[in-house]
Amino acid sequence: MHGLHLTADLHGCRCAPHWLLDADALGRACTEAVQASGLQAVAQLVHAFPSTEHGPGGVTATVLLAESHLCVHTWPEQRAVTLDVYVCNFGADHSGKAHALMNALLALFDPVAAERHALLRGAVVQERTP
């Protein structure tokens, strides 16, 4: 359970609108960013939301990683995105790869402002010898 959980709330994204609207394009970009960071994608699910009276529908993209997960949620009517990257560090420390993945997505969305958080989860439990 020992791992690193990174989150970011992006505001005023200056990216091309299709990154906030096009589920297929965003899904491919997420998978490519995962691969470039050195993490291993094992499955992906992408969902496009319909337009409402507030504007065009956003996208939820999730990539299941061998190390844990990436989740992206877009709000095109607000030019906003939330990012969630969690990696388990049980077998190896994947923290650098998690930061690389987060940085790649920040570059993709190009926000005016980003609220970033990092949470170390769990602890490495040392076996006690009697």
Catalytic, out of 30, 37, 68, 69: 68
CA distances to 3, 59, 80, 128 from 24, rounded to whole Å, are 29, 9, 18, 49
- Our answer to whether residue 88 is catalytic in this structure is yes
Question: Which sign does the torsion angle of CA 23, 21, 107, 10 carry?
Answer: negative
- Our answer to whether residue 5 is catalytic in this structure is no
Q: Which residue has the higher pLDDT, 21 or 126?
A: 21
Q: Kindly report, residue by residue over 43-83, the tens digit of the pLDDT.
A: 999 999 999 998 999 999 999 999 999 999 999 999 999 99
Catalytic, out of 11, 15, 71, 73: 73
Measured torsion, CA atoms of residues 86, 101, 9, 90, in degrees rounded to the nearest 10: 20
Report pTM: 0.92
Catalytic, out of 30, 37, 88, 94: 88
φ, ψ of residue 58 to 5 degrees: the values are -90, -165
